[in-house]
Structure 1
């Protein structure tokens, strides 16, 4: 019998994160050392970008493993300060996906989380208001539960806070009701999906729509 080599989950997650970083960098969504990227592993650990590196130039050592509570698996590794926001999403998925249903009646598992800092997200989030409303766009259908352009998707905007644990407590009541992700004011977006490909599609969709909103406001009298 031929020997079958099973794929290495860690290596696959690392390559997914490296590829996502390069893709986000091409669009200018991870300037300097901004942003972070993670993917869930089958054993429950999380592969996530190391603190301080440029996400468009990641190598394998730029990705580390953390537990679901955000602690580095290997001594000496330093996770991003915002790792807790990734962990919060995975923990919510674990707690609610089997029973809870995403919009449209499907259970929403979270297998990847992306955080970027685009110009459009940063500028729009600095305007007054608790949310950015996206209405009438065909691309809204990229988000879970949306099957028509004739709808409005609300993207919550949370005030920035360097105390990430406190910020996570503000975000917590809204989990499960943010099909397009959310924005941290003056900071950037958080988007997630069942797989890295789904998360990237939602990120690109959200960033496209935010860019459209920014252009519309420039045209407004």
Structure 2
């Protein structure tokens, strides 16, 4: 599939995300890999539910440089980190949902562990509800370069799969292409909703 076709799919996914209210008030950021050296990343301050292909900016993966001089998302460094860490990653989606934001604050461990849900099989490589899915948690930081370094150091000794959570911030997830990234996003959000409801019911 051509990069333009992938970008068209990403724009459609952004509209779907916006309709679900998963990136409110211009929050969130989305990208697609253009080639080995560059990605196309959503411009800062844009409503994700009404993005067009013109709202995506070319960014150099190795340096975070923007040849056009336009302003990409504040979290550009997290997107380029994922493309560097995972050569097979073709798209990255970062959302701000209630469930991911709240769970990231109430879970005190270094990862949110999900187990026992049939919908775990929406995630690439997951075969059974008996397996466990570990979604790493990192403290939020306005210093994106510093945050990216912490995530990179973590990834050197612990596998990162599907996505990670930033406390009080939201989910960043990826896939080999836009469709897989979207499936991972939808699957994880369903699992987060289930986990929130389970914890609420058990607390009563």
TM-score, length-normalised on structure 2?
A: 0.92
8 A Cα contact 1:145 1:179, kept in partner: no
Matches within 5 A, 1:37-52: 37-42=30-35, 44-52=37-45
Corresponding residue of 1:103 = none
1:154: Cα distance to partner?
Answer: 1.0
Tell me the SS of whatever aligns to 2:119: helix
CA pair 177-21 structure 1, distance change in 2 beyond 3 A: same
CA pair 194-126 structure 1, distance change in 2 beyond 3 A: same
Using the alignment, how far apart are the partners of 1:37 and 1:87 within structure 2? 11
Cα-Cα RMSD? 1.6
Corresponding residue of 2:19 = 26
Corresponding residue of 1:61 = 54
Which ranges in structure 2 are unaligned for 5 or more consecutive residues?
A: none
8 A Cα contact 1:50 1:80, kept in partner: yes
Tell me the SS of whatever aligns to 2:86: helix
Corresponding residue of 1:124 = 103
1:43: Cα distance to partner?
Answer: 5.6
Matching of residue 191 in structure 1 with residue 185 in structure 2: no
* Residue of structure 1 aligned with 2:7, choices 6, 14, 18: 14
Q: How many residues align?
A: 199
* Residue of structure 1 aligned with 2:71, choices 41, 55, 78: 78
Using the alignment, how far apart are the partners of 1:28 and 1:134 within structure 2? 24
TM-score, length-normalised on structure 1?
A: 0.85
Using the alignment, how far apart are the partners of 1:154 and 1:180 within structure 2? 9
Moved more, 202-211 or 120-129: 120-129
Corresponding residue of 1:158 = 138
* Residue of structure 2 aligned with 1:167, choices 141, 144, 147: 147
* Residue of structure 2 aligned with 1:142, choices 114, 122, 128: 122
* Residue of structure 1 aligned with 2:94, choices 115, 133, 139: 115
8 A Cα contact 1:180 1:202, kept in partner: yes
Which ranges in structure 1 are unaligned for 5 or more consecutive residues?
A: 1-6, 95-108
8 A Cα contact 1:153 1:180, kept in partner: no
Q: Which has the higher contact order (CA 8 A, sep 6+)?
A: 2
1:173: Cα distance to partner?
Answer: 2.9
Corresponding residue of 2:188 = 206
1:133: Cα distance to partner?
Answer: 1.2
1:180: Cα distance to partner?
Answer: 3.2
Which segments of structure 1 move beyond 4 Å, counting only runs of 4 or more? none
Using the alignment, how far apart are the partners of 2:58 and 2:86 within structure 1? 19
